[in-house]
Amino acid sequence: MNALSSAASEGLRAVIYTRVSKDDGDTEGASSTERQEQDCSALAATYRWNVVAVERDQGISASGNAERPAWERVLRLVEAGEVDLIVAWHLDRMTRNMTDLERLILLAEHHSVGIKTYTGDMDLTTDTGRMVARILAAVARAEVERKAARQKRANLARREAGIPWKSGFRAFGYTLKGEVVGEEAKLIREGAEAFLAGEALKSIART
């Protein structure tokens, strides 16, 4: 029986997974994952699923090799046979690379777990569902690569124009607007002088 069939889905055990990364362009962070959770919870209520857990990864990309503790907990719930559905806002909240997707496909097949998203569900236990998921993952990966290329080019243009590098993190010695922070600049100069005098970088960093 298809775990995603609305006629037979009432009472299924669901885990909600939300994620936001710094490269998503969402400056609200926690608010983004809260909105995802609200939408997924509303979806669960509509189908009368039993939400047994909500897992959230904050500020972690799904496209690289960064560890996602909450996602690993979701997968452990699947492996332990404690959930029937994984609910997320979109497939790209769960994975943006083929390695993670294939792992998810194998788990879904082995444990007959359904994948339900707020933007549309898919059944990874069928060949059509797996094909759609792989296409979506490939598209998401291409978007990540295009975004990275644009960011690199923008940073190069900023460097050539003498404009400080821009990111979501403040560089030590500068404000986010690129203004010099006096006390920190003094420490940077002292560190440079210590390095030129032969002091080890680890020692300078500790200082």
The string of pLDDT tens digits covering residues 105-150 is 888 888 888 889 898 767 676 777 778 777 777 776 777 677 767 7
Total of domains in the chain: 2
Q: Which domain holds residue 191?
A: 170-207
Residue 5's CB is within 10 A of a number of other CB atoms, namely: 12
Query: What's the one-letter identity of residue 31?
Result: S
Q: What is the DSSP letter of 64?
A: S
Contact (Cβ atoms closer than 8 angstroms) between residue 101 and residue 134:
yes
Burial 173-190 (b: 16+ CB within 10 A, else e): bbeeeeeeeeeeeeeeee
If we measure between CA atoms, which residue out of 52, 45, 55 comes closest to residue 10? 45
Q: Are residues 91 and 187 in the same domain?
A: no
> For the chain, percent helix, then strand, then coil, each to nearest 5?
50, 15, 35
Query: What's the one-letter identity of residue 48?
Result: R
Q: Are residues 42 and 100 in the same domain?
A: yes
pTM of the model: 0.61
- Residue 89, strand partner residues: none
Percent of the chain surpassing pLDDT 90: 33
Q: Are residues 117 and 197 in the same domain?
A: no
pLDDT digits (tens, 9 = 90+) for 80-89: 999 999 999 9
pLDDT digits (tens, 9 = 90+) for 159-202: 777 776 666 677 788 887 778 898 989 999 999 999 999 999 88
User: Where among 88, 123, 140 does a domain terminate?
Assistant: 140
In-domain check, residue 147: no
Confidence of residue 102 (pLDDT cuts 50, 70, 90): confident
Q: What is the pLDDT of residue 106?
A: 85
Q: Are residues 193 and 129 in the same domain?
A: no
